[in-house]
């Protein structure tokens, strides 16, 4: 997806946007705790990966709230930090997924399915809350991309649960975790690219003002 690249990028300065972010932070923090515990209990790498996505979202939204109204360079720097965190998260999920290939054990499909459905409902609420603000600067854009990742990830976890149940193997779970790692890396690339572009734009703007 392309970001909004005109001069009227929404920068998050809106009381309504801030209220929606607080609601979504609460939803994501709660679901991280629920899903990580369920992932440990079910032995599901996909559930754990999705739980980390919830945690990443909660942290992302918190940073986004903190820099709303700040200068563009500050917001771009915050977006760079969030992009790097997504990159590291994707690499961790990818590496741990490769490790899990060599671990004997099949995840519990029933737990995966139930928690996946609960997480999907939570993320659909979050997506609905943020949909009207999906375009904007790199800081706002990162919020939308994380919300989108969650919704896609929950559908993927439910598909993995069906695969585990149907094949009686852990391979569907591992494949989905790998796909989600790729999604993290893709989002990180988009956020970093837009943040760097906005940083350069601000440098050019500052140089023009000095001259």
Q: Please state the domain extents for the chain.
A: 15-210
Angle at 133 between CA 127 and CA 135, to 5 degrees: 110
User: Which residue ranges in the chain fall short of pLDDT 50?
Assistant: 1-7, 104
User: What is the per-residue pLDDT for 1?
Assistant: 33
Q: Tell me the per-residue pLDDT of 94-136, one tens digit each, with 9 for 90 and over.
A: 776 666 556 545 566 677 778 878 888 888 888 888 777 777 7
User: What is the per-residue pLDDT for 99?
Assistant: 63
* CATH assignment, 15-210: 1.20.1510
User: What is the per-residue pLDDT for 7?
Assistant: 42
Mean of the per-residue pLDDT values for the chain?
76
Exposure of 113 in the CB half-sphere (CA atoms within 13 A): 9
User: What is the per-residue pLDDT for 5?
Assistant: 34
- Assess contact for 10 and 139: CB atoms under 8 A: no
Among residues 127, 94, 133, 109, the alpha carbon closest in space to that of 42 is found at 109
């Amino acid at each position: 997806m392309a970001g909004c690249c005109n001069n009227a990028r929404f920068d998050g300065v809106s009381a309504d946007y801030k209220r929606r972010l607080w609601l979504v932070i609460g939803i994501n923090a709660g679901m991280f705790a629920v899903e990580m515990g369920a992932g440990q209990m079910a032995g599901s790498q996909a559930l754990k990966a999705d739980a980390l996505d919830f945690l990443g979202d909660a942290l992302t939204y918190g940073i986004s709230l903190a820099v709303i109204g700040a200068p563009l360079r500050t917001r771009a720097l915050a977006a760079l930090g969030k992009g790097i965190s997504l990159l590291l998260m994707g690499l961790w999920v990818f590496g741990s997924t490769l490790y899990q290939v060599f671990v004997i054990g099949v995840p519990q499909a029933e737990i995966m399915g139930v928690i996946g459905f609960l997480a999907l409902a939570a993320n659909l609420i979050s997506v609905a809350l943020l949909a009207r603000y999906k375009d904007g600067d790199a800081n706002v854009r990162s919020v939308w991309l994380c919300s989108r990742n969650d919704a896609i990830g929950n559908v993927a976890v439910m598909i993995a649960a069906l695969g585990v149940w149907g094949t009686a193997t852990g391979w569907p779970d591992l494949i989905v975790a790998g796909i989600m790692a790729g999604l993290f890396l893709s989002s990180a690339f988009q956020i970093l690219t837009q943040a760097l572009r906005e940083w350069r734009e601000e440098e050019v703007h500052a140089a023009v003002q000095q001259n």
